[in-house]
A and B are shown apart, each in its own frame.
Chain A
Amino acid sequence: MTDLRSLDAAFAELERRADDLPPGQFTPQPKSRLVPIAAAVAVVAGLAVTATTLLPEGEPAVQVGSPTATSASTQPPTSPPPTSPSAVKPPAAETPEDLADRFRAVLGDTATFTISETGFGTSISTAPPPGQKITGPLPTRYAGASFIGTLTAGGVTGGFDLLMHPEGKLANGGGCGVEPPPECRVANLPDGSILGIWDMRLETKGGITYGVDRVRPDGVVVGIHVSNISSPKGNGTKLAPRPPLTLDQVIAIISSDRW
Chain B
Amino acid sequence: MEFTEYMARGRPALTRFAMVLTCQGWLAEDVVSNVLCRAYEQWERISRMSEPHAYVRRMVVNEYLSWRRQLKRTSPRAEIEPRGLDDGADQRAERDAMIERLASLPRKQRAAVVLRYYVGLTDAEIAVELSCRVSTVRSQISRALATLRIDLTTDPRTLQETK
Contacts and interface: CB of A to CB of B under 8 A. Distances in A.
Interface residues of B, number: 63
Interface string B137-155: 0000000000011111011
Main secondary structure of the interface of B (DSSP, over half): helix
Contact of A24 (B32, B113, B149, B151): B32
Contacts of B7: 26, 28
A1 B151 contact: yes
Taking chain A's interface residues, is the majority helix, strand, or loop, or is none over half, making it mixed? loop
Nearest to A13: B95
Task: Kindly state the interface size class of chain A when it binds its partner.
Answer: 35 or more
B37 A39 contact: yes
Given A15-B16, A18-B16, A202 B71 contact: yes
A54 B155 CA distance: 46
A134 B19 contact: no
Interface in A1-51: 1-11, 13-15, 17-19, 21, 24-26, 28-29, 37-42, 49
Interface of A: 1-11, 13-15, 17-19, 21, 24-26, 28-29, 37-42, 49, 52, 54, 125, 133-138, 179, 181-183, 198, 200-204, 209, 211, 231-235
Interface of B: 2-4, 7, 11-12, 15-16, 18-20, 23, 25-26, 28-30, 32-34, 36-38, 40-44, 62-63, 66-73, 75, 79, 91, 94-96, 98-99, 102, 106-107, 113-114, 117-118, 148-152, 154-158
